[in-house]
């Protein structure tokens, strides 16, 4: 369930914010192998199933913007709900997730 502070962010907008040094905390909630094969530059890897107990170690306060993505969407939506349970109020999803990032031809780290 999305909250008022939640807005999806397009790959292009996120790429611009990263390039401008205005990046939100970006969480990749895919598996270790998927993350190692390529991820959004600067993304932190926290598998979706570990969000509840790792949320307190994120370099963000509950009021900061967080962008979550997975391969296609389901794991990211679960992670957003779990982050809400931990008090995070501004959790966006990357529109199109990693598959959308790749379709846009944007750079990846590995």
Q: Kindly report, residue by residue over 54-95, the tens digit of the pLDDT.
A: 988 999 889 999 999 999 999 999 999 999 999 999 999 999
Q: Considering the candidates 58, 70, 79, 93, report the single residue annotated as catalytic.
A: 70
Question: What fold does the segment set 11-103 form as a domain?
Answer: Oxidized Rhodanese; domain 1 (3.40.250)
**Among candidate residues 57, 63, 41, the one with its CA nearest the CA of residue 110:** 41
pLDDT at 2 over 80: no
Model pLDDT, residue 82: 95
**What is the torsion angle, in degrees rounded to the nearest 10, for the CA atoms of residue 95, residue 98, residue 102 and residue 106?**
70
Query: Within its chain, how far is the Cα of 3 from the centroid?
Result: 16
54 is catalytic: no
Cα gap 67→98, rounded to integer Å: 12
- Joined tokens for residue 42: 């600067």
């Amino acid at each position: 369930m999305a909250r008022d502070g939640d807005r999806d962010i397009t790959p292009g907008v996120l790429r611009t914010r990263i390039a401008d040094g205005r990046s939100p905390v970006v969480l990749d909630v895919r598996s270790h192998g998927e993350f190692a094969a390529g991820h959004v530059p600067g993304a932190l890897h926290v598998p979706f199933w570990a969000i509840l107990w790792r949320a307190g170690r994120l370099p963000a306060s509950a009021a900061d913007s967080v962008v979550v993505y997975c391969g296609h969407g389901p794991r990211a939506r679960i992670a957003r709900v779990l982050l809400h349970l931990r008090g995070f109020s501004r959790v966006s999803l990357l529109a199109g997730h990693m598959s959308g990032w790749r379709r846009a031809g944007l750079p990846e780290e590995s």
